[in-house]
Amino acid sequence: MKSLIAQSHSLSNPKKQLDVINNQNDRVKNLDKFEKKLNEIGLYPLKPTGIEIFQINVGYMCNMTCKHCHVDAGPDRKEIMSRETLEHCLRALDHSEITTVDLTGGAPEMNPHFRWFVDEVSKLKKHIIVRSNLTILDTRKFEDLPQFLADRSVEITCSLPFYSRRRTDAQRGEGTYDKSMKVLKLLNDIGYGKKGTGLVLNLVYNPVGAFLPPDQESLKKDYKKRLWDDHKILFNDLFTITNLPISRYLNFLMMSGNLEEYMEKLVTSFNPSAAMGVMCRNTISIGWDGNLYDCDFNQMLKLKTNHGAPDHIKNWDLEKLNSREIVVNQHCYGCTAGAGSSCGGAVT
Amino acid sequence: MDKTYYNPDDLKKFGDVGEFQKELADKFFDYYGTVFKDSALSSKEKALIALAVAHTVQCPYCIDAYTEESLEKGYSEEQMMEAVHVATAIRGGSSLVHGVQMMNKVDKLTM
């Protein structure tokens, strides 16, 4: 499967995506604007609580082409963060109060400077999270990477949209489930997910379809039981993440006739408590080209940090960014529906 | 008359039944909400029971609603289909067990 951009698909254009989720038809158009909902609970304009997480999208290249991918990542994407931009990131991180560096993609492992950068961030004593699709670690080029990450106590947060083969493969491609189980066992073998090792292995669930995630704690118990009973696999935590209506997932919603129902569901499930805890309040997202965004979703919609805040890593100013106004739009309902959603799972 | 008896969008109008009889509708929806809360059974368990019952009463609104609810409670396709088979087994069994009544009658009427 090709990325939307390689297909020259209209939904590869962020402006088109924003137009769809705002104006596709009367049902969509009549939904309350996100700003209005925030205003009703005294949260507009949305302001940061303070940046703790520095999430770097080191490139959109990926070995997979998942049906729901909000990045529209795939083997045909060539956007990769340069060493120069990574050095700007290191300068921003040095002596900052930021505690966590979250590496995402695409498959972040595919950035040619990945290992060098992880080493440099380790020297700064920051907690590092790598968001892995698991299957990349089943290739010869990357087979020694798990031990490299373990030696540096890097947390691995990986995608496993369900504990069943059927649903995992439906979203991520035939054979993904079996490869994922193989890599999870390998990670367990070197200590990941096991008590007392300090090596953290977290899984990410996201709905394989047009519905909201289950209760995180309840689902974690199901995952723990099924993965142990079926494969003797251990992991630390499970994060439930809601699919936001952008990019390939938006395409799925439109093609399957679920757009209106899903948007209505997100809006009617708006949870003020979840809005209080949205991740953009403590996270900054850095794009492959150094541009700054309030989150990885805004990055894909090319909604840069705004309202006078710096919008490129070269102009990093933590004080200004901590007092910025966060850019919101209708896709933000995905993070405030039900129990809320973030890169760390539910927020309530 | 509409072209079909069932319109998926009508499910969203369920609450409108209160327009013709508010007191009873309020009591029903209050009761309904209470039934599905976590209690001796979890709301998750109740969703799967509802899915099975929806198939027994063959209510298309309920099947749509509790299929989505079951997915959002974290059930797998296999679990949901097994719930439907439970409904099917009870429905089939309820016919078949009446075969005993038929046999009793045969005994009485025949030599």
Q: What is the pLDDT of residues A253-311, one digit of tens each?
A: 999 999 999 999 999 999 999 999 999 999 999 999 999 999 999 999 999 999 999 99
- Sequence-distant (6+) residues with CB within 8 A of A203 are A157, A158, A159, A160, A223, A235, A237, A238, A239
Chain B nearest C-alpha distance from A121 (Å): 37
Mean local confidence (pLDDT), A49-76: 98
Q: What is the CA radius of gyration of chain B?
A: 19
Chain A nearest C-alpha distance from B109 (Å): 55
Banded pLDDT at A129 (limits 50, 70, 90): very high
What pLDDT score was predicted for residue A1? 87
- Sequence-distant (6+) residues with CB within 8 A of B17 are B25
What pLDDT score was predicted for residue A334? 98
Cβ neighbours of B67 in A, within 8 Å = none
Domains of chain B: 15-109 (1.20.1290.10)
What pLDDT score was predicted for residue A95? 82
B78 touches chain A (CB under 8 A): yes
Assign A201 to helix, strand or coil: strand
Residue ranges of domains in chain A: 50-245+281-302+310-322
Q: For Cα atoms A63, A159, A130, give the angle at the middle one, nearest 5 degrees.
A: 80
A214 → closest Cβ in B74, B77, B78: B74
Nearest CA in chain B to A165: B76
Superfamily of domain A50-245+281-302+310-322: Aldolase class I (3.20.20.70)
A9 touches chain B (CB under 8 A): no
Average pLDDT score over chain A: 97
Helices (H), chain A: 14-23, 26-29, 34-40, 83-93, 114-123, 145-151, 165-172, 176-189, 216-231, 247-255, 259-268, 272-276, 296-300, 318-322, 333-336
Determine which helix (DSSP H) or strand (DSSP E) holds A344, and give its type and residue range.
none
Q: For Cα atoms B56, A269, B62, give the angle at the middle one, nearest 5 degrees.
A: 10
Cβ neighbours of A161 in B, within 8 Å = none
B99 touches chain A (CB under 8 A): no
Assign A157 to helix, strand or coil: strand
Instruction: Please name the residue that has the structure tokens 């083997």.
Output: A75
Residues above pLDDT 90, as percent of chain A: 99
Nearest CA in chain A to B8: A261
Kindly report, residue by residue over A102-116, the tens digit of the pLDDT.
999 999 999 999 999
Cβ atoms of A270 and A337 within 8 Å: the answer is yes
- Cis, peptide link before residue A45, omega less than 30° from 0: yes
Kindly report, residue by residue over A319-329, the tens digit of the pLDDT.
999 999 999 99
Give the 3-state DSSP-derived string for A15-77, with helices as H, strands as E and coil as C.
HHHHHHHHHCCHHHHCCCCHHHHHHHCCCCCCCCCCCCEEEEECECECCCCCCCCCCCCECCC
Cβ neighbours of B44 in A, within 8 Å = 214-215, 218
DSSP A309: S
